Structures are given as C-alpha cells and as structure tokens.
Structure 1
Amino acid sequence: MLHGFISDASTFDAHIERLRSHVSILTIELPGHGGDQSPDTETWDFSFIQRELDTVLQHYRKYHITLHGYSMGGRTALYYALHGKIKPEGLILESASPGIQDNASRTERIQVDEARAKVLEIAGIELFVNDWEKLPLFASQAEIMTATQRARIRNMRLAQNPERLAKALRDYGTGNMPNLWPELSALTMPVCLIVGERDEKFVSIADKMEAVIPRCEVHEVEEAGHTVHVEDAEQFAIIVLGFLNKEDHND
C-alpha cells in the first residue's frame, strides 16, 4: 500500500487491522515522507522509485502481489505496474491519475508544484498544512470525518519534514509525472479504480481510464471525496476484499 502526498504509512494502520485476517499487508513510505531515508543527493523521479520498489518487492516474489496506491501513491503504483520488474497480479488505484496529457497543462502544474515547494521551505510545515487543508479536494473531510479523525490526519501531516516534502514535489509531483495515458491499454492485470462521488475531477478521470484499460472495474463511493480510505473506511475495505476475492477465483 502506497500513501499520498504529505502523508506516511500510518494512514493505513486502521486498514491493517481490518484486512490482515484476509491478506498480508506491506506498507511503503515514499521518498521524502515518514521515516523514508532516500538520499537527498538522488533525484527521486519515477524511475528511481521503480528501482527502489524492485529491490523491496523481489523479497516477496513468491506471493501474489496486488499494489494499492492512493493519489501520489496511486500514480507511483501505476508507473510501477507498467515499468517495474516484478509485475503485480492486481492493481488498486484510489483517486489516481495517469498524468497530464498536454504540455501546456504540465508546465503549469510544474509551476504549481514549485510554488508549493517554496512555501514549504520558506513558511514551514504548519502554514503549508493550514493551506493544504483548505483545498477543495479535501472539503468533504470536514463534513464527513469526526474531529478525532481530522486531528489524527493533521498531526500526521505536521510530522512530515518540509524540506523533504519540497523535494518530493519537485522530483515526482504531478507535473513531473510521465504521461501514462498512451500506455494504459498495456495493463494486463485486473485493475480496480476507487473514487469518491464528490471528487468530480477524479470520477471523470476514472471513467476515461476504464474505457482504455482492458480488465478494469470502477467503484464510486457515495458521499466520499478524494480520500476514500479515510472518509469511508468500511466501504473501502469491502471494495478491496471483493476485488482480491475475484483475483483468487481467477487463479
């Protein structure tokens, strides 16, 4: 399971409790997040992350591996499914995109990522988190989640290192992600797309992805926004286990 930006592996703690009676779970912290120790001297681009995942996943080759990724982690999981040495037998993408298709929009997003990186470096983590929580992408969290749940997520965000987050944005933010749209038809494993009903941008992206991925199913979770695994943990678990059970029956 691969987490999103300004997060870490602890975001999946509750799901480990829910799912571990059915599957074994490996959580991985992406470069610049949590306890990750990727060297600052490296460029943390998608090929770097792919090589690092190759090193980790080779220890689990004898298992049936399904990759799950949320948002930034979803983009990373998708890239790995297409380019990694160890092909997963299933792919679960939650609120994820295959990248930006046109050059002008990509350039604009690189500038946005750079501006956010500078805020992290100059203003620090607390001011950045305050602004991040106000993004329309996360508006549903304030309405759906309890104060305790929101506090837990905020504390996880505040625990991140702002300088390393800034490097993550520059090295493998959305702007610097390769355009994977032309490669989606090459995915041979079953793919599960999970989106929140209120996350209209990613609902639209999921519909377009479903049209070109050969073995694909889309689950739109009612009332949820961008962070489905947090906003509706129960439904998220039902979808994941249902998908894994289908994979087992196809073996």
Structure 2
Amino acid sequence: MNNLQIPVRGLSIHVKMEGDRHLPAIVFLHGFTGSSATWTEVRNELKGSYRTIAIDLTGHGKTTVPDNAERYSMEEQVEDLEALFEYLKLDSFYLVGYSMGGRIALAYTIHYPNRVKALILESSSPGLLKEHDRMERKTADKLLASKIIDEGIASFVEKWENIPLFESQKSLPAEKRQEVRRERLQQNTIGLANSLLGIGTGSQNSYWEALNSISNPVFLITGELDAKFVAIAREMSNLSPTWRHIVVSGAGHAIHVEKPRLFATMIMEYLMDL
C-alpha cells in the first residue's frame, strides 16, 4: 500500500492507494471525525479486484489543517478533489462517500460528472432544503465547534460516540469500538471545528434540486437502524427512479464499520451489474 502526501492547491493531502493501475479504481471519502483508515477492512475485501484510493479530507487524518474555516467549504473541497484526481491521472473511477464524505462525493459528481462512473452514497444527504433549517443547523454547528476548541478532542469524542446516531456501534466488539475511538481521538481540534463551520450541513448549499441533473448510476446504502437517513435516501431515490437504494438489516449509520464484508460485497455486486 502506498501512503502519499500530495501537494494540492496549498494543501498536503494524505492518500492511501493500493492495487494495480490496470484495475478499475474506487475512491473512498470518509465522514466527519474519520480518515482514510476507516475503509481498511472494506478495501481489504476488494483487494485484487479493484484499485482503491482512500483520501483524508481537509482537516482530517494526515491532511493539512487550514486555520481559515472558509478553506473547508464545499466549493473548495470539490476543487481540491478535482486537482488531486488530475495529479493522480484518475480519469474515471467509482466514487464512494460516507455521511460528510457522501455530501462531498455528491457535490463532486454534480460538478464533474464525466470522471464518475458510478456514485455510491452511504448514509448521506443532499443537504437541507429549507433556509430556516440550514440557519438552525449552522448555529448548532457553530456552538459545537466552539465546544471542541474549548474542551478538547477527548471530551468531544466522549460525547460524540454516545449520540443516538452511533447507538448501534455499542454492540460492536470492544476491540472494534476502541479502533473507532482511536481514529476520532487522533483528529485535530481546529480541523474538526473548521469542518463544522466550513462544510457542516448548515453551511453547504442544498443539492436537492440538482439531483435530477445527475445521469451517473447512483447506489444509496443505509442502515435499518438509522431511520433518519433511510427516509432521506428513500426521498432521494423517489426523485430519481433509476437510482438504487438498499436498507441493510441490523445496521446503523456506519454500515462499512459495522458490516464491512457485507458492505464490500454490496459494492462489488452493484458494480458488476452495471
């Protein structure tokens, strides 16, 4: 596996790449508080069949942590990805995004559809449709960002891993829970705070109205126990009837963490059917 630090638009982006260049490529984008490491088990399942590229998004993992929250905006991150793919000479690939990474993957596909052979969104949304809801969320994210700075990573992670969204992860083996916690604890306070301010759901534009413009194949994956995102995915797939949506039994928000082998199998089966 190659661990690379790639200079892109004033940043140093950390990328994990594995697999021969002749294999079809899959790019993975993690969620908030995550990193490229979150995809390790899924990528191991795909080894030999696909070339995999996992990226540490701005302010996360080993990628640069800009001090300016505006540098984390959706527009900036989409352009960072495009410049990165140019650097890597990735002309076409399958794009997988989880949660925050899914929002970024969706935005990238809307702006650069010709590179994306298929878009796979795990527990993701196109943002908030109503301005009022975006303002409320922006205020909440700003408050949380301040708490991260004031109280530190350890205090934040203790609260974050106990929110209802991750309740299903409490049934994971202790070793797996510790692995997820370590990944979160290794994040940077400025990086997490600025991610909330710059690319939180309240800060990004809504992409609901742009969904009909997407002609790429799209596969939506949600966990049965994550009712909010199941409902969002159903609404998305109703707007775009060619999109496929699967609800995974017994899984919550992070299917790739809770059921990595099943998640990888679903990706392979979907791509083989295209």
User: How far, CA to CA, are the matches of 1:132 and 1:70 in structure 2?
Assistant: 17
79-88 vs 1-10, greater mean Cα deviation: 79-88
237-246 vs 179-188, greater mean Cα deviation: 237-246
Q: Any unmatched runs of 5+ in structure 1?
A: none
- Residue 64 of structure 1, CA deviation: 3.7
- Residue 162 of structure 2: aligned partner: 134
Measured against aligned partners, the alpha-carbon deviations of 1:23-79 in whole angstroms (never above 9, x if no partner) come to 111111111100111533452111101111111112455654111000000000000
User: How far, CA to CA, are the matches of 1:64 and 1:43 in structure 2?
Assistant: 26
Which stretches of structure 1, 4 residues or more, deviate above 3 A after TM superposition? Answer: 59-64
Q: Within 5 Å, which residues of 2 pair with 1:66-145? A: 66-84=94-112, 86-143=114-171, 145=172
- Residue 180 of structure 2: aligned partner: 153
- Residue 211 of structure 1, CA deviation: 1.1
- Residue 20 of structure 1, CA deviation: 1.8
- Residue 207 of structure 2: aligned partner: 180
Q: Any unmatched runs of 5+ in structure 2?
A: 1-27
User: How far, CA to CA, are the matches of 1:113 and 1:84 in structure 2?
Assistant: 28
Instruction: Give the structure-1-normalised TM-score.
Output: 0.94
Q: Cα RMSD between the aligned structures?
A: 1.4
Identity within the alignment, %: 37
- Residue 86 of structure 1, CA deviation: 4.8
CA contact (8 A) 2:98 2:124 kept: yes
Measured against aligned partners, the alpha-carbon deviations of 1:223-250 in whole angstroms (never above 9, x if no partner) come to 0000000111121011100111123xxx
Instruction: Identify if the C-alpha distance between structure 1 residues 211 and 105 changes in structure 2 by more than 3 Å, giving closer, same or farther.
Output: same
CA contact (8 A) 2:42 2:261 kept: no
- Residue 213 of structure 1, CA deviation: 2.2
- Residue 163 of structure 1, CA deviation: 1.4
User: How far, CA to CA, are the matches of 1:226 and 1:194 in structure 2?
Assistant: 10
- Residue 195 of structure 1, CA deviation: 0.2
User: How far, CA to CA, are the matches of 2:161 and 2:139 in structure 1?
Assistant: 20
User: How far, CA to CA, are the matches of 2:87 and 2:214 in structure 1?
Assistant: 23
- Residue 166 of structure 1: aligned partner: 193
User: How far, CA to CA, are the matches of 2:83 and 2:255 in structure 1?
Assistant: 29
Higher helix share: 1
Measured against aligned partners, the alpha-carbon deviations of 1:153-203 in whole angstroms (never above 9, x if no partner) come to 001100100111101110001111110000001111110000000000000
User: How far, CA to CA, are the matches of 1:53 and 1:62 in structure 2?
Assistant: 11
Alignment match of 1:212 (pick from 210, 228, 239):
239
Instruction: Give the structure-2-normalised TM-score.
Output: 0.86
The residue type equivalent to 1:215 in the other structure is T
- Residue 15 of structure 1, CA deviation: 1.5
- Residue 23 of structure 2: aligned partner: none
Alignment match of 1:5 (pick from 32, 46, 61):
32
- Residue 57 of structure 2: aligned partner: 30
User: How far, CA to CA, are the matches of 1:85 and 1:237 in structure 2?
Assistant: 23
User: How far, CA to CA, are the matches of 1:61 and 1:165 in structure 2?
Assistant: 29
Instruction: Identify if the C-alpha distance between structure 1 residues 214 and 186 changes in structure 2 by more than 3 Å, giving closer, same or farther.
Output: farther
Alignment match of 1:43 (pick from 71, 75, 82):
71
User: How far, CA to CA, are the matches of 1:130 and 1:205 in structure 2?
Assistant: 27
- Residue 151 of structure 1, CA deviation: 0.3
